[in-house]
Structure 1
Amino acid sequence: MTVYFIGAGPGAADLVTVRAQRIIAASPVCLYAGSLVPEELLAQCPEGARVIDTARLSLDEIVAHLIEADAAGHDVARLHSGDPSVFSAVAEQARRLDAVDIAYTIVPGVAAFAAAAASLGRELTVPGVSQTIVLTRVSTLSTAMPEGEDLRSLGRSGATMVVHLGAHRIDQIVEELTENYGPTCPAAVVAFASRPDEIVLRGTLGTIAEQVKAAGVTKTAVVIVGKVLAAEGFPDSYLYSSVRVRTTH
């Protein structure tokens, strides 16, 4: 028996891997992260599958379901929104499974920031503008940020900043990033990326907070800040340059 931690993507049911679809269709047990996983994806579970919404379950309750499936010899499709490598809470589940010697495999998915960038029609690493992306969040009452990972500290690099799980703290994000990026730095917020109810807001650090509030965006959103969002006149990358092509052929 294996627990498959599957990246279920940002919301659109067809933004998952072929591997993920195959595993979902073959797993007798499926645990999914509430409304973050589309119903169309759950419809791919096999007939008679046990499908469990984990939105209101504790970690202990979730692990108990995994242990029960293991005892019955059933593979589990454990669906997480986005990609399991980023803000998925997979690490704490995997640690519990290691402790009871239950095998697991991680299946990558489309991350929310990647879907947001696609909706914006922007590459987040532009030659001569920014070649670094910082994926982070803001501190909440539940989990504090490690020392040195506050937005002011991270923003000193000037890299493209992607803030997850922070739309409800947009004023804090703007305040802390403006110190290094300035009020005219391009900023965008994408809520429900790839879904039918997607919301895309574009502006600057000086204007984006009011747009977020006016749109009523408080969750399931990604905040992106950086010059790449309005980059023009940048040099072509060396990857496809005529100089490189002549040199390598």
Structure 2
Amino acid sequence: MIHFVGAGSGAADLITVRGKKYLEEADVIIYAGSLVNPALLDDAKGGCRIYNSAKMTLEEVLEVMFQAEKEGKMTVRLHTGDPCLYGAIREQMDVLDERGIAYDYCPGVSSFSGAASALNLEYTLPGVSQSVVITRMAGRTPVPEKESIESFAAHHATMVVFLSAGMLDELSGRLIAGGYAPDTPAAIVYKATWEDEKSFVCTVETLAQTAKENNITKTALMIIGDVVAHHSYERSKLYDPGFTTEFRKGSDIVE
């Protein structure tokens, strides 16, 4: 059996209870060494074989899985954050499906959630933004043309931009070209939930300057939108005394 496990956004205690249990039981662990907190490997049992996938190809990762299956071993494939985002898990699962090898997927805390916690931020403020766009700039890995930064910016929704800390001049220009005002609130969160986490509130126009002043070149998320500044918002209807729900009858009297 192979368990794909989300390691969480950085802090070792943000892995799920289920994910921790799998790590403790694993005979083989293949972890994304460039981003996963190595402290998580302290949960591995004696004799567990541990592989750093940062130094491996897809074929090499799969070969370790195949060998473990032949030996009747349990494998944990430990990905950073929640592997459904930029985790490259589908290409592994497809091969396992072809081989008839059983697997499952244990979700984790994504770094975009960790970044919100760094700023005590709610991405979906009523009357401000009810949508979150998670995207990235095109680098060596392309992005489909229909998913350009400009097209997303036109909606003025909250945006969380992954894997783009080294391209902030271009990001700012494209956000502004798409419709964001230069003074739209923005933030950079470096290594969300790690011990050396840093966060900086700025504007769309000053993203690159802020990163340069604070020596941020990688391992950071950018958050764009009025929610960053805790913009004036509407009260939640769910907890409004006058709002009737399945569990509570609303009152006409509002204190």
Sort the TM-score into its range (normalised by shorter chain).
Answer: over 0.9
Which 4+ runs in 1 deviate beyond 6 A?
none
Q: Report the Cα distance in structure 2 between the residues aligned to 1:114 and 1:246, rounded to whole angstroms.
A: 28
5+ unaligned residues in a row in structure 1: which ranges?
A: none
Counterpart AA for 1:68: Q
Cα root mean square deviation, aligned: 1.2
User: Are the aligned partners of 1:148 and 1:154 in contact in 2 as well (CA < 8 Å)?
Assistant: no
The equivalent of 2:130 in structure 1 is 131
Shift of 1:102: 0.9
Once the two structures are TM-superposed, the CA of residue 231 in structure 1 deviates from its matched residue by 2.8
The one of 170, 173, 196 equivalent to 1:172 is 170
Q: Distance in 1 between matches of 2:80 and 2:186?
A: 24
Question: Is 1:193 paired with 2:192?
Answer: yes
The amino acid of 2:89's aligned partner reads V
More helix by share: 1
* Residue number in structure 1 paired with 2:89: 90
In the other structure, the counterpart of 1:58 is 57
Cα distance in structure 2, aligned partners of 1:164 and 1:238? 32
1:38 and 1:112 map into 2 onto residues whose CA distance is 13
Alignment partner of 1:98: what SS?
Answer: helix
Does the CA-based 8 Å contact 2:238-2:245 persist in structure 1? no
Contact 2:137 2:171 (8 Å CA) reproduced: yes
Residue aligning to 1:74: 73
Q: Deviations over 1:82-141 (max 9, x none)?
A: 001111011111111111111110100000110001101110000000000000001012
Q: Which residue of 2 aligns with 1:202?
A: 201
Who is 1:155 aligned against? 153
Q: Is the 8 A contact 2:128 2:231 kept in 1?
A: no
Name structure 2 gaps, 5 residues minimum.
250-255
TM-score w.r.t. structure 2 length?
0.94
Alignment map for 1:209-220 (pairs within 5 Å): 209-220=208-219
Aligned to 1:223: 222
Verify: 1:25 aligned to 2:24, yes or no.
yes
TM-score by length of 1: 0.96
Q: Tell me how far apart the structure 2 counterparts of residues 225 and 240 of structure 1 sit (CA, whole Å).
A: 27
Q: Report deviation, 1:216.
A: 1.7
| Identity percentage of aligned residues | 39
Letter in 2 for 1:155: A
Distance in 2 (CA, whole Å) between partners of 1:232 and 1:139 is 30
Aligned to 1:7: 6
Does the aligned pair in 2 maintain the 1:201–1:208 contact within 8 Å?
Answer: no
> What CA distance in whole angstroms lies between the structure 2 residues aligned with 1:229 and 1:223?
11
How much does 1:39 deviate?
A: 2.0
Secondary structure class of the residue paired with 1:169: helix
CA drift at 1:163:
0.5
